[in-house]
Each structure stands twice: as C-alpha cells, then as structure tokens.
Amino acid sequence: MDIKKMVITQARRAKDASYEMLKATTKSKNKALEYIALALDSQRTALKKENKKDITAGKKKGLTAAFLDRLTLNDEHIDSMIKSLKDVIKLTDPVGEITSEYKRPNGMKIKKIRMPLGVIVIIFESRPNVCIEAAALTIKSGNSVILRGGSDAINSNIYMGRIIKKALLKAVLPEAAVEVMENTDRKAVAEVLKLKDFVDVIIPRGGKGLVNFVADNSRIPVIYHDAGICHTFIDKTADLKMALKVSLNAKVQRPSTCNSMETLLVHEGIAKKFLPVMAKKFQAEKVELRVDEKTLKIVPGLKKATEEDWGTEYNDLILSVKVVKDIGEAITHINHYSSHHSDAIITKDDKHSVKFTIEVDSAAVFVNASTRLNDGYEFGLGAEIGISNQKLHARGPVGLKELTSEKYIVFGTGQLRG
C-alpha cells in the first residue's frame, strides 16, 4: 500500500471510530485507561527492550545527550506514565458538560454543551511518553487520535500503540480510536495535512522546523506547540536565595524541555551581588554562560552572547544572561525575544508582580516560581498534549477541556422565524 492510501485508510478508520467515541461512557473510557496502565506495568520489560532499540539506533546516529534523554523510557518514566493515566481517570469527564443555559423570549431553550473535537492528529518528535499522555487525554475526552511520532522513537511508539489498541478492545471501545502511524517517511505527514474530510485538528509537538512545516502546509486547523524560549527576570527587590534556587531549577532540572529557562535577566541594582554567585553555581552544574557586556564586566572570562543567542532555544546546558536597567527593559526584551511560552519574575514588589503578569505576553507567567512548572500535570490537568503558544481556543497546557469544543442544543415548541 502506498503512503497516501495508508494515511487515508488510517484516517477513515479514526473518523468512523470518532462517531463511536461520541457514545462512549465515562466508565468505559476510564476502563480503557486502567487497562493501559496495567499493561504498561506488566509489560515494562518488553517496552524497555523496544525502547533500547531506539536508544541504540540514536547513539549510532550521533544524537545529542539531551535528545537521548527525551527518547529514554526507564522505570521512572513508565511509572510516570502510569501515574498520568491514573490521574486522568480521576478527572471529571468534560463531555456533555453544560457550559451555559438560557431561555429566549419566544420560549426556545438553548444550551451549550462540551463535545469532542473529533479526529485529532498529533505529530510529535522524540518523546515516546507523548504516545501515552496523548492517548489518555483523547480517549477520556471522547476523541479519536492519529499519533505520528518521530522515527527515532518508532519501536517504542509501535509497542505502546499495540498496548493501547488491546486496552480499547478490552473496554469495548473502537480500537481505531487510537491509530499509530508506523510509516516514518515524512511524506506521510504531508499527506495527513491534506485530509480535511477526515481530520478535525492537527497538533504539532516539536521543534520550530516541524511546527512551521505543519503551519505552512496544513489545510486543517492547527493548535501550535511551538518553541520554548523562556526567561526569568531577577528584580531589584528579589530574595536572592530564592532567585538562585528558582533560576537554577528552571535551567538544570531538565534542560531538554520546552519550559526550561533559556535567558536570565538581572536588574542592574543587584547584578554585582547576584551575578558572581550565580555564575559559580551554574558553572558547577556545567552550564555554559553566554552573557552581555555588562555581565562580562562583573564576571570576566565568560563567553559573550551574540544577537542570535537571545532568540535561541538551546534545550541544553547553555544559558544567555543579560543585565537590564529596570522591569520595563526586562519586559521589552521578553516580548521581543520570547516564544510566548513561559516567563517568570522573582520579586518582592507586588506592583512589579502585577505589571509583569499583565504586560508579558506569554501563555504562562510565573511570580517567584520556576518556568519548569508550566506543565499539564503540575497544573492539575492530569497530563497534557502540549503547551500552546497561540491565543485562539487553547493557550498554555492542552488538557481535557482544550480537546473539546461547544455546540448549541436548542429545544423548541414549534417556533418559526418571522
């Protein structure tokens, strides 16, 4: 079967399954998630074996340590996926929720209720755990999903896809509610972007290249999961111990993620006191610092930042550092270079907190907390499909509610338009 036919066949199956999922009960959807969790636990040895194939192939390709970290499924990651499934089970099913209800003067009763989006295509790159998180959220929200993971995680994704399908059948739900594209040819992505008769939404989760390709070529609405160029601003009134702990966590806790800090902005009023201590701590964690002229004068010997650095998502132990004269300059810098993902301020000044949260144009803005916390699980959503940088329909972590839309239900007694 050629690529086009293969993609259309999967999309048609997913579309048919989406109509069955409209009728699925919360109980049956939760049962499917329970069965997936049980299978992951009982088959973890086999799953790790498949994942090892991906890791071995990745090392031969010369993938970076950060990339291999995103690709790895160890017991801790499997436990995390199982927990995510259990958390989603506990969440309220959004399907059928009445979001508004009112009566018109002519006697018509109007309701708006939450309904699944339909068929969602999720295109992601190296993280195989996305396979489980995406399936959990789409099943619970009554959608069908086509999962297209990167070639580097193909063995892991295929194995988990089979686990999911068996669980759906066991819960008496259509197995085609979750389809995994096993063909890693990039032409398959180009083909699926054309299928507006079968697919309702595309969600690309990956680097700028992937997102831009999908945005430029899709005939289907797209929810963007774009780059994460995240900032932390250390204000003049900041608790410097907190500032050091929070910024260190934001950079080194897991630098390969989209919500890790890429640029540290420091108020000039505390720069001489903060920067030498900061540089020592970060260098101890093997972080390469790329700094502006003002920072270089305070901490000589560091690498000078280029204009390109301010707009770069490193996903690695590299950090850009800049001294700014005040909060206004910090906000201007962030709004110019940020990918509008996650940005933070460390401050004791309540007015500055308010100013920062209002004027920084990002999906999530933090006060005295790490940008690493911008995550569906941390926000109580159970899991997430991605973090949307855009402003329509979904912004921030995309969870259950973001995978639904609303429709009107109108009850009449013979009313006519005059």
What is the pLDDT, as a whole number, of residue 226? 67
Residues 307 and 220 in one domain: no
Residues 65 and 188 in one domain: yes
Residues 33 and 76 in one domain: yes
Domains in the chain: how many in total? 2
CATH number, domain at 307?
3.40.309.10
The answer to the question of residue 416 being in a domain is no
Residues 117 and 216 in one domain: yes
pLDDT cut 90: percent of the chain above it: 83
Residue 117 carries which side chain, given as an amino acid letter? L
pLDDT band at 217 (very low <50, low <70, confident <90, very high): very high
Per residue in 186-197, pLDDT (tens digit) is 899 999 999 999
The answer to the question of residue 349 being in a domain is yes
Query: What is the token pair recorded at 151?
Result: 């070639």
Per residue in 158-174, pLDDT (tens digit) is 999 999 999 999 999 99
Element (H, E) at 249: helix 240-252
Q: Which comes out higher in pLDDT, residue 52 or 125?
A: 52
Element (H, E) at 112: strand 109-116
What is the pLDDT, as a whole number, of residue 390? 79
Q: Are 111 and 412 in contact (CB under 8 A)?
A: no
Q: What angle do CA 170, 174, 180 make, to 5 degrees?
A: 100
CATH number, domain at 102?
3.40.605.10
Residues 318 and 355 in one domain: yes
- pTM for the whole thing? 0.82
Query: What is the token pair recorded at 364?
Result: 């999530």
All residues at 6 or more sequence positions from 393 whose CB lies less than 8 Å from its CB, including other chains:
223, 402, 405
Residues 83 and 170 in one domain: yes
Residues 284 and 197 in one domain: no
The answer to the question of residue 418 being in a domain is no
Residues 265 and 198 in one domain: no
Residues 215 and 161 in one domain: yes
The answer to the question of residue 35 being in a domain is yes
Q: Are 36 and 85 in contact (CB under 8 A)?
A: yes
Rounded to an integer, what distance in angstroms lies between the CA atom of residue 87 and that of residue 104?
40
What mean pLDDT comes out for the span 234-245?
97
The answer to the question of residue 378 being in a domain is no
The answer to the question of residue 245 being in a domain is yes
The answer to the question of residue 135 being in a domain is yes
Domain of 315, in residue numbers: 230-373
Task: Using the predicted structure, report yes or no on whether residue 126 has a pLDDT greater than 80.
Answer: no
Residues 240 and 357 in one domain: yes
Tokens 């910090």, located at residue: 330
Residues 105 and 57 in one domain: yes
Residues 265 and 190 in one domain: no
The answer to the question of residue 417 being in a domain is no
